A and B are shown apart, each in its own frame.
Chain A
């Protein structure tokens, strides 16, 4: 196990609702990244937070937003849910400053979101 935890494990929402997913980073890690993994695909980068500031964003609309707290735990918020938002959402924690691209990202077990 990596020490990265996520909650909840599963979630069912209806279209148009809002959802908040949570991630607790591995001890000592100051960076968290969020990924969306649709069924049968590889994970897609949503965004990254470093020391409570957004530090890069993928091709996701603004209704995907996040927070990182002083204890380095993190939230992913998705507003106005769409059917295509159904996926496994993974968070990954790591140590390092911007540009430390060789640092290993340690993944949590994910939250599976189903939008009906």
Chain B
């Protein structure tokens, strides 16, 4: 069965500092992995996705993530945090059976200090 674990329910960084949000997955088959962002009182917006084409995936707003099979990880990074990055971030794995539902982690709230 597939699952996702996000380490750290809250991460706080200073503006301009490196952002690192951790995601580990469990999957018996090659996974498809996604990062979504949710701003307050809004739905989910896709940041990036991994579909086996390349292990380093670049997304919107300067975010990127690296798929590491040996570590079963798909951590999200951004070199320099901006105040507008403050939001909730969700890692998800796509499960393939009769449907392709997304299985989400519990989320990490990113706080950016001025």
Binding site for B on A (CB under 8 A): 2, 4, 6, 33, 35, 40-45, 48, 50, 55-56, 58, 90, 92, 96, 98-110, 112
Contacts and interface: CB of A to CB of B under 8 A. Distances in A.
Among B49, B101, B106, the one with the most A-chain Cβ atoms within 10 Å of its Cβ is B101
Interface string B94-114: 111111111111110000000
Given A2-B45, A55-B98, A90-B44, 16 more contacts: A6-B43, A33-B99, A33-B102, A35-B102, A42-B105, A43-B102, A50-B99, A56-B98, A58-B101, A96-B100, A101-B94, A101-B100, A104-B46, A107-B43, A110-B43, A112-B41
Nearest to A58: B101
B51 interface: yes
B45 A45 contact: no
Interface residues of B, number: 27
B49 A104 contact: yes
Contact of A105 (B90, B97, B102): B102
Nearest to A100: B100
Contacts of B84: none
Contact of B100 (A2, A40, A103, A108): A103
A48 B90 contact: no
Contacts of A44: 104
> Nearest 8 A-B pairs (CB), nearest first?
A56-B99, A42-B104, A101-B100, A101-B96, A45-B101, A101-B94, A107-B43, A107-B44
Interface string B76-97: 0000000000000010101111
A106 B34 CA distance: 12
B70 interface: no
B46 A33 contact: no
